[in-house]
Structure 1
């Protein structure tokens, strides 16, 4: 049986004077190490998820840690039985996680980190407001007990949601605890709340992934699966791959019951997006799915079918 594939989710907020200058050497290092995935570079730092064998991942992480301000790179490891990415991409972005608030700087101000072992006590405190900072389709497959779902389709919508609902959200609460998949969105969301004048702000160190890795299931306050931005789609306690598939049309997770719906067609539509797409679009998706099926029969990867890295 082949060794499991190492998956590394990483980020670091740091000042890159010229991120474009870093792109080609970093891509070359990943190619040389046989690593695939997506890395985002911006003036505010680096964010990404990569996969490969243990030696290859180690080599790439050493290269990233040698970049300015990246010695303390935040990395969360997990394993996959099959390759979660089809190719390697290194992209230049305005932000490594898009919030659209140019004055927010997690390097200057951020919430207090809470270790996974201490998280249950914090979110069980009735004085604590617990907010899930992820997108609506992520929250739909799992979240923490008692967490508020902003129902935002994009992280960019989070600031407006908080400002519009601030008075109601904070009524009777002394503390705010926030969480996300790997921790990066909380770096910005907690920084944002502090800029909005909220003092007692906390966030889960290492995100949901670290919690699911370290907290025993019998002690857990997590319900459901955690959406991840790769071909595993979701993970559970112990970071075991979940049962969800992926709709290639809208990139939302698809449950077993979704697959039984008349609105589900592999690679073409799911109940969540059927009414959002035209028949012309679905015809294009069917052709893409046909090409993917042919590539699978030939034993090759159809790169057009892969999942891009999202906000976290």
Structure 2
């Protein structure tokens, strides 16, 4: 039996977290689903796995709550469930940035679809002729597994280090179009809003992240695999499980950020 691996998030104000946690946990247990759901005052972030019918039943049930009606999940298929149990956790943030002024539920940053980014990468510019810069907002152990070619990678060990890294490198992005990306869209959404607050113009987030890019394009301009936070380890461009290698996909895991600094020295 094929297993559907589903991930989705939504920034939306939630104020009934303990009761919501119990309802979600019970529903997942009833449907024999496994995975992790994160709940915080700013929204929901979920990773679930199970056969097609119970996954679809869960999503239909969840969307009956108007706060989650427009959840747009990313899906991939595996032969086994890549989670050992079902957890629903309460957190301060569904993705920790420690920047309380960034509230994506109020106003999203502009986004580009995977098809648009694919076209921009093919033509080497955005539709207005500006130079394109891809910005990886993930952690170093994730970017070691795979990344877009020539993307800026700050080699951060935690997303909380992103604000300091971008503040020290603002000049790089002047008069360019920046597309921030991450695994499923959640980190690059906060990152894009923060960059706007810093006064960086022409900032976009990749809608649906790397997983949606793999789902809707041929994966061109990507090297390696995509790290995922479950027992699969990673997925390839076809969204098939791809066990993690002992070696990074580039020889020395050097970032384009490092190369840029060397050129300026």
Q: TM-score over 0.5 for the alignment?
A: yes
Give the number of the structure with larger relative contact order, counting CA–CA contacts within 8 Å between residues 6 or more apart.
2
The separation in 1 between residues aligned to 2:52 and 2:185, in whole angstroms, is 23
The separation in 1 between residues aligned to 2:247 and 2:217, in whole angstroms, is 29
Report Cα offsets for 1:252-271 as digits up to 9, x if no partner.
Answer: xxx1559xxxxxxxxxxxxx
Partner of 1:170: 173
Partner of 2:254: none
1:119 and 2:117 correspond: yes
Partner of 2:257: none
- Could you tell me the TM-score, scaled by structure 2's length? 0.87
Structure 2 CA distance for partners of 1:243 and 1:17, relative to 1, 3 Å? closer
Partner of 1:48: 46
1:133 and 2:111 correspond: no
Q: How does 1:279-290 map to 2 (within 5 A)?
A: none
The separation in 2 between residues aligned to 1:89 and 1:256, in whole angstroms, is 29
Shift of 1:96: 0.6
Shift of 1:46: 0.3
Partner of 1:214: 216
Partner of 2:227: 227
The separation in 2 between residues aligned to 1:182 and 1:212, in whole angstroms, is 11
Report Cα offsets for 1:214-261 as digits up to 9, x if no partner.
Answer: 2125xx0100000001111110111011131xxxxxxxxxx1559xxx
Partner of 2:102: 104
Q: Secondary structure, in 3 states, of the residue corresponding to 1:51? A: strand
| Largest Rg, 1 or 2 | 1
Q: Secondary structure, in 3 states, of the residue corresponding to 1:238? A: coil
Greater helix proportion: 1
Partner of 1:281: none
Partner of 1:185: 187
- Could you tell me the TM-score, scaled by structure 1's length? 0.74
- Structure 2 unaligned spans of 5+: 249-265
Shift of 1:63: 2.7
Aligned-residue CA RMSD (Å): 1.6
Partner of 1:77: 75
The separation in 2 between residues aligned to 1:92 and 1:256, in whole angstroms, is 33
The separation in 1 between residues aligned to 2:64 and 2:195, in whole angstroms, is 32
Report Cα offsets for 1:41-77 as digits up to 9, x if no partner.
Answer: 0111100100011111112212322234211012111
Q: Secondary structure, in 3 states, of the residue corresponding to 1:85? A: coil
The separation in 1 between residues aligned to 2:142 and 2:120, in whole angstroms, is 22
Report Cα offsets for 1:173-222 as digits up to 9, x if no partner.
Answer: 421111110111111111111122223111211110111122125xx010
Q: Secondary structure, in 3 states, of the residue corresponding to 2:95? A: coil
Partner of 1:289: none
The separation in 2 between residues aligned to 1:136 and 1:91, in whole angstroms, is 25
The separation in 1 between residues aligned to 2:242 and 2:68, in whole angstroms, is 32
Q: Would you say the 8 A contact 1:35–1:88 is kept in 2?
A: yes
- Structure 1 unaligned spans of 5+: 245-254, 259-312
Q: Secondary structure, in 3 states, of the residue corresponding to 1:117? A: helix
The separation in 2 between residues aligned to 1:18 and 1:195, in whole angstroms, is 30
Partner of 2:242: 242
Q: Secondary structure, in 3 states, of the residue corresponding to 1:111? A: coil
Structure 2 CA distance for partners of 1:17 and 1:146, relative to 1, 3 Å? same
